[in-house]
């Protein structure tokens, strides 16, 4: 099972190619031989738009769960449209690069500087400026779920 951790600053070239950091690339090679699915995150706010990178087997396990959501529910339908509608299978090239499709670059408002953020079973890919703005946001207004209240760090 993949265990993606850490954050990595990377650059995207003018053609939309980005090189996956070596440590992450090694984990992807073990998890899926470099075959990934890149898709849109279904954010709560505009500021949280980013992309999700799933190892292909992880995506194939998750996809039926997304498809099975009740599409008469507005939030479920939005999640399906974003995650399934933007899902793009990709394979890392011999030097660990992928080409991010223009539709996904536009959705996530990507510029040259990006951040790769480990999230355990998946990775998030953020516009660097948006990532740091999100980090600086005050989140004290959010309700803390009971699972977090019981967590001892």
End-to-end CA gap in the chain:
23
pLDDT digits (tens, 9 = 90+) for 77-88: 999 999 999 999
Residue 140 lies in a domain: no
pLDDT score recorded for residue 142: 67
- In this structure, are residues 7 and 118 in contact, taking their beta carbons and an 8 Å threshold? yes
Residue with tokens 């740091």: 132
- In this structure, are residues 117 and 130 in contact, taking their beta carbons and an 8 Å threshold? no
pLDDT digits (tens, 9 = 90+) for 38-75: 999 988 888 899 999 999 999 999 999 999 999 899 99
Residue 142 lies in a domain: no
* Three-state DSSP state, 147: helix
- The CATH code of the domain that includes 131 is 3.40.1550.20
pLDDT score recorded for residue 122: 97
- Total domains in the chain come to 1
Q: What is the extent of the structural domain holding 98?
A: 7-135
Half-sphere exposure of 150 (CA within 13 A, CB side): 3
- In this structure, are residues 16 and 101 in contact, taking their beta carbons and an 8 Å threshold? yes
């Amino acid at each position: 099972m993949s265990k993606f951790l850490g954050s990595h600053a990377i650059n995207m070239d003018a053609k939309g190619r980005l090189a996956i950091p070596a440590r992450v690339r090694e984990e992807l090679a073990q998890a899926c031989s470099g075959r990934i699915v890149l898709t849109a995150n279904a954010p709560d706010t505009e500021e949280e738009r980013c992309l999700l990178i799933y190892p292909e087997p992880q995506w194939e396990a998750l996809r039926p769960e997304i498809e099975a959501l009740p599409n008469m529910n507005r939030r479920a339908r939005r999640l399906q449209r974003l995650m399934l509608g933007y899902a793009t299978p990709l394979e890392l090239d011999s030097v660990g690069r992928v080409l991010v499709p223009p539709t996904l670059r536009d959705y996530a408002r990507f510029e040259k500087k990006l951040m790769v953020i480990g999230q355990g079973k998946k990775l998030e890919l953020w516009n660097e400026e948006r990532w740091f703005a999100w980090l600086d946001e005050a989140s004290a207004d959010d309700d803390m779920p009971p699972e977090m209240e019981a967590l001892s760090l």
